[in-house]
Structure 1
Amino acid sequence: MKVGSVPGVTSVSLRSVEQTTSELRKLLARLREQDPALEAAAVRAAGLAHEHAAVLLALVEHPAADPGILVGGVVPVDRAVTAAELRCFLADAAGPGIREVTQAETTRGYPVVVTERILPGGAQLQAVVLDRAGARAAVFTLHSPSGRGWPDLAAVTGRFVTGVDFSACVL
């Protein structure tokens, strides 16, 4: 799988938890004064990314927003699922704070289901891009601890996710 480069999305190395955490901290220090909530989210994200074999960990930024953390992975799918089935399942089972569940297509024609959750601890967007072959899905989760500028962060992430290409071999 491959995803193109998008301004505002800066990925970090996933070689080790320590290197991932170090690179995230450097990016955060460059962006703004110390933010304990965002730093804590970055440390948690680094650990979770390694624990769950993520293929992407990135900082998402926009001038009108506090930064967010994006984690991406590829998961096997037991059976072919349509975007409509996934959207209905997520709308029914997604839990508290769900603001919206929508479906669309990427620029390459892959179905994508997007879930947006707003909670007291920030905002979260999850985009699930389904491989038309039915064998896998790319799952991207954006988290913004503050939620400030959320629509702008979500838009940057949307531009990133729409570039998913399952026919390519590199992320």
Structure 2
Amino acid sequence: MEKVLLLHSSSDGQTVKILQHIEKALGEDCVCEFVDLNTATSVNFADYSRVLIGASIRYGHLNKKLYQFIEKNLLALKQAKAGFFCVNLTARKEGKNTPETSVYMKTFLKRSPWQPELQAVFAGALRYPRYGWFDRMMIQLIMRITGGETDTSKEVEYTDWQKVEAFADRFKTF
């Protein structure tokens, strides 16, 4: 039985939902453990055969705790079979939804001392009714500027689940 570590830094839960989908795609031969990067104190990478980190973008940035975690665990990450994906609303658009075309992935790779071999970018979800007033207004403004959904009564999931499953297949054989 393979043991897999699924680390996440999620703002509104879509990153965790994507990891749960990947867990199902990995099948019964894998036991997955979920760890929140925002609260993780230490991780023993030797306990896992594979590691996957998923992180969401909020207001144009990955959480600084992600970078702190990477710096603290850089050697272990470099030695592990480890992959990374980021989740953002910009990836809902063709041409902004791959590691090569995502400004967020490019920024991550410039800032991070860890350069994961396995990478992906997924579109997230827009959950207006769940946001507080400030976040709802700011995200609505951003969506207006970028030509997205502005109706604050709606929830829209942009994640391409077939793309997630294809990535899970790549992660399985990585």
Is the TM-score greater than 0.5?
A: no
Structure ranking higher on relative contact order (CA contacts 8 Å, 6+ apart): 1
TM-score, with length taken from structure 2: 0.29
Greater percentage in strand: 1
